[in-house]
Amino acid sequence: MPGANLTRVEAQERASVVSVQHYDIELDLTRGGKLFGSTTTIAFDAQAGSSTFLDLIADSVQSVVLNGQELNVSEVWADSRIELAQLNEHNTVTVTAMCVYSNTGEGLHRSVDPSDGNVYLYTQFEVPDARRVYAVFDQPDLKAVFDFRVIAPEGWEVISNGLVSSKNQLVGRTDEGTLTGGETRNRVMWTFTSTPPMSSYLTALVAGPYAVWRTTASNGDGRQVPMAIYCRKALQEAMAKDADYLFDVTKAGFDFYNKTWGVPYPYDKYDQLFVPEYNAGAMENIGTVTIRDSYVFESKVTDALAERRVVTVLHELAHMWFGDLVTMKWWNDLWLNESFAEFTSTLATAEATNWKDAWATFTSGEKSWALNQDQLPTTHPIVAPIDDLNDTYVNFDGITYAKGASVLKQLVAYVGRERFFEGIHNYLVKHAYSNATLHDLLQELEATSGRDLRTWSSLWLEQAGITTLSAEVATDDKGVITAFTIHQVAPQEHPVLRPHRLAVGFYNTNEAGAVVRTDRVELDVDGADTVVEELVDKPRPEFIALNDDDLTYAKLRFDEQSRQFALAHVQDFDSALTRAVIWLSLWDMTRDGELPAQDFVDATLHLLARETESTTYRYALSCMSFTAKHYVASAKRAEVLAHVAHELWTLAGRAEAGSDVQFQLVGAYLGYGESGDSEFEATVRGLLDGSVVLEGLQIDNNLRWSLLTALARINAIDEDGIAAELAKKDTTENRQFALGARASRPVEEAKTWAWEEAIRNTELTNSQLEAVAAGFASAPADLANAYVERYFAEADGIWTNRTFHMAEALLEGLWPSNADAERLVEQGDAWLAAHEDADKALRRLVIGNVESARRIVAVRTFNDAL
């Protein structure tokens, strides 16, 4: 969309001209089901005689009045911008417009729940989508005070950043179409208290007949902060079971952050709104956090997902200080928001909740994400170069979140926890309600730690890539260590060695058969070679753990004796974090073509027989599946897949009744079915009809749809059968499941339908589109091959004609990953060569897909040669 992609230079120029004091915004949600009314009055200062522009994406603009003079709309509004010329020193502009509800989770999203017909609205404004709802200077460094008034149908809840100051019934009724079935109601004007100075992308509006729970939390300054949780009425029963627990987690977060940072929660309230069809995990709108309502658990979920919900709650709460109270000046410092929230939410989860192994969760999940993305050609520094908004979109990634959080964990080890958080306190106090940069943060941390962090920052934050640490161990004939050296190697494309504060752990098997730590040394590692004198003259243990306790961020390569021990005994280590660190290193070696794929599969099966940490379990299952399907030698793939499926079902039968392990094993087993596999089909049908029983395994709604989708993937259920299942219980979630099941059928007509539906049907919500794309992506090689050329032929049109989030969902979701990898690489390289001038964000999405295929070719070649 021309004009919508704000550049950094444009933002800097506008900020040099404009300072904004106040927004007065009135939204009318009673105009029908397609459009809503938006009237915005902005008070701002400017250089006298200068010109600037407002951002607005709207269906139509009725009027623009600048300093009392009505402007010609056709002359000033174009390309999503409103030009403002000949400004005074003090200015007021009022814009009246009609804006469009979205079904993509961008701007003001409108969702209709099919189970009861209720309409639910919510906003999502990050990165630049406040302009889809009101006229705005939509960049983070132009903070202002906001006043919202909202006209909504009677009977709705309306929530915004401020507290409700008044509710008044208006004359007249809603337009037909605002609600379902042409229903009309009286209208109510909701008025909210003024916000503190804040960035526009953090403003929020949620409206609809939401169910609500309320409580209060004690704040660090003696206040009682009102808290609320909201969800759709269709999910009310499920949320009622969890609301108190979620309140308790949030209050624990309040206490932890207030104590750790010494800065009381800065806002008047704290609401958490679980909303439908969300295109992200959650969003840190000030005092009005929106969270995807798949986190309202109607059916059994893995402990990994239950823990992720806790981390998400604490992540968004951390943002109230880091990102909201103090906001980055421009999107290149996005990491200041996300890395910090990711690090501190894991810390809070481990220390303030019942999820004590949260750092093992972080290693298996978040850190594996970072290692993957940091080895792509598209990797970037944590402090990323952001030239425009499109660059920002694609930097919500494993580098910004997971690598950044890992590096912050390393920084805490480097400067010391007490000094680190003292510096954070000073940073928050000094820059409260304003914007800050990396320089501002480092200045405070240097002052409290006494460390020179400029060099540290240049190596860790401002350079891309990941180094590899390995141990060289020499022993005498009695097994005593005579020399111990840690080597650090940087990749050719990013030849940067970094300083590391890390620990080396010694592990041995005790009398009970558990592998336990028997010694530990913490030290600084810098340069290519670091001699560790502290370990000389000590007996060599069975296993030597580099980066014990996972203090630093690096790829790990164990010495040969330790590697062999890990392959045989990874399941026996008594520490969940140590198991996660070892398993992640084995996975990294596998995907680098340094460890035979079958060795990794065998080690993972050993781990699954004993592992108890749910996220490690989840990722182990996922990576083993990918290895068996893509990395194992071609001649052995069918045999390995059959073996893995058999072992998973066997382990499920042995697992504790009703346990998380049993639940995950069954879910993983369902991913191994192939057309014509009568035994698999019989097992799945038996689980559905009750003739096959695993004690404690409840076939609830979501598991039932998983079973139906497994049948669809082997063409053992048709479209009519899927439709009949949906008719039994037509809900928002089940519509998505049904779309995914229909798209999963391994027949040409199903894949053609899914492809066309995803690309052409703009009525699909973002969640429905993702379900269709995921079903399509299960296409076996013979069907997937037909879509290689089509994928690259459609890429430009998808990028041009869809919003970013929908384009991303299509370009990633419709990638025919099961097609011949060599063919994907050949076609992908040709497309990239012909699109050197394409948007960087588009190229980055395509490069990520192509590099995945390139790695498959390389790793499979390695295994074929064994």
CA 76 vs CA 65, 73, 100, 647: distances in Å: 11, 5, 20, 67
Contact residues for 677 (Cβ-Cβ < 8 A; gap 6+): 714
Decide if pLDDT at 419 tops 90: yes
Fold equal for 210-321 and 327-460: yes
Tell me: the pLDDT tens digits for 466-504?
Answer: 999 999 999 999 999 999 999 999 999 999 999 999 999
> For the residues 302-319, what does the mean pLDDT come to?
98
Instruction: Choose the weakest-confidence range: 1-15, 374-388, 586-600.
Output: 1-15
Active-site residue flag, 316: yes
The CATH number that domain 327-460 falls under is 1.10.390.10
Dist CA 152 CA 156 (whole Å): 7
pLDDT band at 171 (very low <50, low <70, confident <90, very high): confident
Query: Exposed (0-12), middle (13-18) or buried (19+): which is 587, by Cβ within 10 Å?
Result: buried
Contact residues for 761 (Cβ-Cβ < 8 A; gap 6+): none
pLDDT at position 90 is 98
pTM of the predicted model as reported, rounded to 2 decimal places: 0.96
pLDDT at position 493 is 95
pLDDT at position 181 is 63
Tell me: the pLDDT tens digits for 634-693?
Answer: 999 999 999 999 999 999 999 999 999 999 999 999 999 998 899 999 999 999 999 999
User: Among candidates 166, 320, 210, which has minimal Cα distance to 256?
Assistant: 320
Dist CA 510 CA 518 (whole Å): 10
Q: Pick the residue with more confidence: 385 or 758?
A: 758
Domain extent listing, the chain: 1-205, 210-321, 327-460, 748-866
User: Could you give phi then psi for residue 46, rounded to 5 degrees?
Assistant: -155, 165
pLDDT at position 177 is 76
User: Could you give phi then psi for residue 208, rounded to 5 degrees?
Assistant: 145, 180
Dist CA 269 CA 206 (whole Å): 15
Tell me: the pLDDT tens digits for 796-833?
Answer: 999 999 988 999 999 999 999 999 999 999 999 999 99
Tell me: the pLDDT tens digits for 770-783?
Answer: 999 999 999 999 99
Domain made up of 210-321: CATH architecture: Orthogonal Bundle (1.10)
Query: Per the CATH hierarchy, to which homologous superfamily does domain 1-205 belong?
Result: tricorn interacting facor f3 domain (2.60.40.1730)
List the beta bridge partners of residue 39.
26, 96
Tell me: the pLDDT tens digits for 62-114?
Answer: 999 999 999 999 999 999 999 999 999 999 999 999 999 999 999 999 999 99
pLDDT band at 1 (very low <50, low <70, confident <90, very high): very low
Catalytic residue from among 26, 106, 316, 422: 316
Decide if pLDDT at 2 tops 50: no
Tell me the pLDDT of the chain averaged across its residues.
Answer: 96
